Amino acid sequence: MSQNDDGNWVCAIHIVDTDESWDIRESELVSTAKFMNRSDFYDENDAASVEVDPVMGEGKLKG
């Protein structure tokens, strides 16, 4: 997501399975008043941990 100079938000969506991408403006979204949890999108058991070197700013996989 990013915000332009006018204060409007834009987000990019990429669907890996079909290799499709879209840029969507905030004004194009419609609120459904529904909320989802992180676990609806990510399998917490399949997460990767990354350790970042604070000096170099580079990361490497932990474990």
The one-digit pLDDT tens for each residue of the chain (63 residues) are 899 888 999 999 999 999 999 999 989 989 999 999 988 888 878 878 899 999 999 999 987
Residue 2 inside a domain? The answer is: yes
43 domain-assigned: no
Let me know if residue 57 belongs to a domain. Answer: no
pLDDT at 19: 94
50 SS3 class: strand
In a domain, 4, yes or no: yes
- The Cα-based distances of 8 to 2, 28, 35, 47 in angstroms read 8, 11, 22, 32
Domain membership flag for residue 6: yes
Domain that holds residue 12: 1-29
Tally of structural domains, the chain: 1
Residue 17 lies in a domain: yes
Q: In this structure, is residue 47 part of a structural domain?
A: no
